[in-house]
A and B are shown apart, each in its own frame.
Chain A
Amino acid sequence: MSLKLDNIRIPVALCCLLPLFWLLLDILLDRLGGNPIQAITIRLGDWALRFICITLAITPVQTITNWRGMADFRQMFGMYAFFYASLHLLAYLFVDHAAAWHTIYVDIIESIYLWMGVIAYFVILLLAVTSPNSAKKRLGKNWKKLHRFIYYAAIIAVTHYIWQLKGNLIQPLVYLILVILLLVFRMMVWLKSRQLSKLMLPRGKSVHLDQSD
């Protein structure tokens, strides 16, 4: 593919901010319905989850389309997942609970779904901190292992979403199916590369289709 991805990096980065502007506009115009504070928290959480899914989709898209060099975008989308997850957390702490720490403490202790949110956030935080290239160099091989934790974060984040609903599971199930499909794709690529490398062994070659992962 000859499309120069460098040229669209800044426009894409700006587009990723659109959900935030959209939310601010809805706040200003009072378009968030009967429980606007809950709506803000849900909207930010939704976008964190969407960016996790977009981040996970980069590898399959690269594999299928043979596009290369999208790793920069994967990092950018990952950082946006962290950005929206942070806003989601800040909205919970300072908008919904108005920094009433005792209430927050009791809420987290008694709510399993919040534990999951906390775990997912710490994983994403760890990945965001180790995202810069300098950290990547320092971590070497371990970096890749560490950043595979995004799968756990995705599954825990979806569970966090499912676990706080009163029974209507349609929306979080869509995310769950999406995350599972993205994982299945990787497993298939992994299996295929293993089989191929077995076939190739006599000729002393091994093929890794999953280079970019």
Chain B
Amino acid sequence: MIIKTKKQIPDSGITDPKIFQQRRRIIKALALAPVLPLQNTYANRDSIENKSFAKLNKVAPHLENVDLTPPQFVKNFTNYYEFSFDKEESSQLASKLVVSNWSLEIAGEVEVPKRVYIEDLLKSALLQEYRYRLRCVEGWSMVVPWIGLPLSGILSAAKPLSSAKFVRFTSIFQPENMPKQAKGAMLDWPYVEGLRIDEAMHPLTILAVGMYGEYLPKQNGAPVRLIVPWKYGFKSIKAVVKIELLKRQPITSWNKFAADEYGFYANVNPKVPHPRWSQHSERVLGTGFFTPRRNTELFNGYGDEVASMYSQMDLRQFF
């Protein structure tokens, strides 16, 4: 007697677990949708985690012929002192950040003060991919495909007054979810950074809302952060809630903590060492063992675009 057994399922027939989970989520959402119409809109606002952008074909012209850093290095190696001074720990603790109902205030020396909602930024037709090298003052670098839009457009919309000479950026203050903020540890919270107005209006300066085709992970500055690629990483403030145009140079967090070590300008410059360590070279994250460090470039390699802004300045004095 022949016992018929079912054919084995070929590997190709097995549903990818990601798709399976996605289907379950969709079914769940469909089932709940009619019951919870109001909460659903709220949920949409909260869902700026784990979402990807519709295919972005537009890549900004400032490309480098370099390999992108694998995303896991970017996601698991973050300086986010509001959570922890340890890079891996801060990457994990950052999941506590609440990013729902996020908006960005544009204020100060502007004709039209504005409030920009994150949903509008995420849907913006101006979004492009910007592949920038990020150089940390600690001596490491990575190349990240950010998704964002030039800051200049957003500032222009608020119509800056001629009195606006500087820009102050303020990060989120959420001590209930940020342990180091709650303890008042090290820096003055919330975190504050600043730029000169011409630096802020420069086409390389962007507000990023995503990376690697997806919305920004919380540890990398969700939902919106600044990216200034020719400056050390600490200038690229995360989780921005406020942008103010000012008459005078603002006091910024790291500069206040140690003015002799972390200058206001913080331009990447291999010839100006940090008072305690060299900035001559950098470890490129994701490179293997016995790979030499990379020689750091003036303005992080963006000198052609930005050097003219500093032609009248002594970069040793204005470091």
The complex places the Cα of A113 from the Cα of B273 at a distance, in Å, of 13
Selected from A33, A110, A167, A168, the residue in CB contact (under 8 A) with B273 is A110
Q: Are B290 and A106 in contact (CB under 8 A)?
A: no
What bracket does the count of chain A residues touching chain B fall in? 20 to 34
On chain B, the residues within 8 Å of A111 by CB distance are 273, 276-278
Q: Are B186 and A33 in contact (CB under 8 A)?
A: no
- Give the dominant DSSP class at B's interface: loop
Q: Are A35 and B277 in contact (CB under 8 A)?
A: no
On chain B, the residues within 8 Å of A109 by CB distance are 278
Selected from B76, B257, B258, the residue in CB contact (under 8 A) with A33 is B76
The complex places the Cα of A92 from the Cα of B51 at a distance, in Å, of 40
Q: Are B283 and A107 in contact (CB under 8 A)?
A: no
Q: Is A173 an interface residue (CB 8 A)?
A: no
**Residues 105-164 of B contacting A (Cβ, < 8 Å):** 137-138, 140
The complex places the Cα of A44 from the Cα of B137 at a distance, in Å, of 23
On chain B, the residues within 8 Å of A98 by CB distance are 290-293
Chain A 136-171, CB-CB to B under 8 Å as 1, else 0, gives 000000000000000000000000000110111010
Q: Are B278 and A110 in contact (CB under 8 A)?
A: yes
- Give the dominant DSSP class at A's interface: helix
Selected from B138, B275, B280, B283, the residue in CB contact (under 8 A) with A106 is B280
Q: Are A38 and B140 in contact (CB under 8 A)?
A: yes
Whether A113 contacts B277 in the complex (CB less than 8 A), given A103-B292, A167-B258, comes out as yes
In the assembled complex, the CB of A119 is this many whole angstroms from the nearest CB of chain B, namely 16
Q: Is A95 an interface residue (CB 8 A)?
A: yes
Q: Which residue of A lies closest to B272 (CB)?
A: A110
In the assembled complex, the CB of A41 is this many whole angstroms from the nearest CB of chain B, namely 10
Q: Which residue of B lies closest to A94 (CB)?
A: B290
Q: Are B289 and A37 in contact (CB under 8 A)?
A: yes
Q: Is B298 an interface residue (CB 8 A)?
A: no
Selected from B140, B258, B277, the residue in CB contact (under 8 A) with A110 is B277
The complex places the Cα of A103 from the Cα of B280 at a distance, in Å, of 7
Selected from A37, A100, A112, A168, the residue in CB contact (under 8 A) with B186 is A168
For this complex, 12 residue pairs linking A to B, each with C-beta atoms less than 8 Å apart, are A33-B77, A34-B87, A34-B88, A35-B140, A97-B293, A98-B293, A103-B295, A110-B277, A111-B278, A163-B276, A164-B277, A167-B257
A34-B88, A110-B278 provided; 20 other pairs, C-beta below 8 A?
Answer: A33-B87, A34-B77, A34-B87, A37-B283, A96-B293, A97-B281, A98-B290, A98-B293, A100-B293, A103-B280, A106-B278, A107-B281, A110-B277, A110-B280, A111-B276, A111-B278, A112-B276, A113-B276, A166-B138, A168-B81
Report which A residues bind B (CB closer than 8 A): 33-38, 94-98, 100, 103, 106-107, 109-114, 163-164, 166-168, 170
